[in-house]
Amino acid sequence: MAKKAFAGIALLATAAVAISGCAGGGANDADNTIDGEVKGDIKVVTWRTDLVEDGTFEKYAEEFNKEYPDVKVTFEGITDYAGEMLTRMSTTNYGDVIGIPAIKPDQYEQFLEPLGETADFEDTYRFLPAASYDGTQYGIAWGGNANGVVYNKKIFDEAGVTELPTSPEQWLDALQKVKDNTDAIPMYTNYKDGWPLTQSFGNLGAITDDPDAPITMAEDPAPWTEGTDVYAIDGLLYDTVAAGLTEDDPLTTNWEQSKVDLGTGKIATMPLGSWAISQMQAAAEENGASADDIGYMAFPANVDGTQLAVIGGDYNLAVSKHSKAKAAAWAWIQWVAEDSGYTEAQGMISPVLDKPLPENLQGFEEAGVELMEMNPAPAGKEGLINNIADDSQIDLYGPIYRQKLVDIARGAADGDKESYFAELNERWGASVEKLAG
């Protein structure tokens, strides 16, 4: 993918957008149900433009047709998927199979075909809560990701880092060894592109072993206080920059080049979701290095000696309410999730519970890292953390406040960690009192 995969916590609390739906359409025939005959034409609308362009999806369709010969599958890739799909969903023509964009859960039934009771899927699939509403399931995750840090094993070896860090202190010590003993940049922020700075927020909950972390933060009037998840996440970014362990000039960072540089050992670490592993491995091989040099570690924190990693689903695949071939669309979703080999090829976590972790996350098992999923928000609080972020004007899922944090840490803006965290707490706390009190 050219940029990010929308994974983990980023989808847990995506800002929902209110849009008007269109009732009716030509797809409400009583025989056109997900349990009907698997036949007809379906269009799969996707954010994976790369897999459309390189023919990967066409190969999937050929394999799918061996089992379902009476279905014709076509594909449309959209570069600005998140934005354009919201516009399209004000019509009835937004494809047969889609990745659910940022619509409110209580709007699912307006736009999407119900797949059944969520309870009936719990023994088969993981990552269900994000596409469930009021006990009904509307989508199945396309795959999942873990949150943590991509790193170059060869550089760690050259630096003399013999054990992966499991605390902030060990992290800073390991990166200092990289700086002292190699020519690599210890950690790359990707400050200029911005969105990579948001990736560490996916670790919310892992630091304190709190599967309700988004609600905990939403109800906390001072979350940037020592002992919380967000304090640990943002504090580690600040301390790493302040210690001189990041790139010299963050204003000139380049995402595409950073993949090559981590793959070839010019960069030691980047905090990113596990979706990035395969991209770094590919960059390594394309530039004369080895994919085996790319490793993945959990966020450097532990609870009573145990490290945790938050896992979450990518986009959830759903059937359009207006599809004229709902059974075929549902068959495609199940086939992609269970039989296509997509998650194995991409190094993602399968949504199917009984499938093993991808090879690139085997290091988690060896290190004893425990995987955790976030709980769905309680009824009535689904959008609370987003509402507080909006009201406080803290772009929790964006780069602006983190870029300022980096600027303060590198001496390019006034203040220090304590003063900036106090400012964030003041703004956040006022909104908590207004909206959650």
- The sign of the CA dihedral 131, 102, 18, 12 is positive
d(CA 393, CA 39): 49
Query: Which ranges of the chain have pLDDT less than 70?
Result: 1-28, 437
Q: Cα 49–52–53 angle (5° rounding)?
A: 85
CA 294 – CA 269 distance, rounded (Å) = 10
Residue whose token pair is 């979350």: 223
pTM for the whole structure? 0.81
pLDDT score at 19: 52
| Tens of pLDDT, residues 281-307 | 999 999 999 999 999 999 999 999 999
pLDDT confidence of residue 27? 58
Q: How far apart are CA 13 and CA 244, in angstroms?
A: 33
Q: What angle is formed at CA 112 by the lines to CA 98 and CA 2, rounded to 5 degrees?
A: 20
**What does the angle CA 245 – CA 246 – CA 252 come to, to the nearest 5 degrees?**
160
d(CA 390, CA 432) in angstroms, rounded, equals 11
Handedness of CA 398, 370, 278, 347 (dihedral sign): negative
Torsion of CA 242, 244, 245, 251, to 10 degrees: 90
User: Could you read off the pLDDT of 326-356 as tens digits, one per residue?
Assistant: 999 999 999 999 999 999 888 899 999 999 8
Cα separation, 198 vs 218, in Å, equals: 18
Q: What's the one-letter identity of residue 260?
A: V
Structure confidence at residue 261 (pLDDT): 98
CB atoms within 10 A of CB 24: 9
Which pLDDT score, from 0 to 100, does residue 18 have? 47
Name the one residue in this structure whose structure tokens are 């995750």: 141
| Tokens 């772009």 -> residue | 395
Q: What is the pLDDT of residue 12?
A: 38
CB atoms within 10 A of CB 47: 25
Q: What is the CA radius of gyration of the chain?
A: 22
For 77-124, the DSSP string reads E-TTHHHHHHHHTTSS-S-SEEE--SB-GGGHHHHB---EEGGGGTTT
Q: Do domains 9-143+314-351 and 147-311 have the same CATH topology?
A: yes
Q: So where are the chain's domains?
A: 9-143+314-351, 147-311
Helix (H) or strand (E) holding 61: helix 56-67
Architecture of the domain spanning 9-143+314-351: 3-Layer(aba) Sandwich (3.40)
CATH 3.40.190.10 is held by the domain 147-311: yes
Provide the 10 A C-beta neighbour count for residue 241.
22
- HSE-CB at 296 with a 13 A cutoff on CA atoms is 27
pLDDT on residue 25: 46
Tokens describing residue 166: 């499991």
Q: Which of 372, 359, 399, 407 is nearest to 211 (CA)?
A: 372
What distance in Å separates the CA atoms of residue 271 and residue 362, rounded to the nearest whole number? 18
Angstrom CA distances, 386 to 106, 161, 187, 216, 381, stand at 16, 39, 29, 13, 10
What does the pLDDT read at residue 249?
A: 96
Residue 374: C-alpha distances to residues 109, 195, 314 (Å)? 23, 22, 14
> Do residues 128 and 312 touch, judged by C-beta distance below 8 A?
no
CA distance 436 to 172: 36
Order across the sheet with 116-117: list the strands. 116-117, 136-137, 132-133
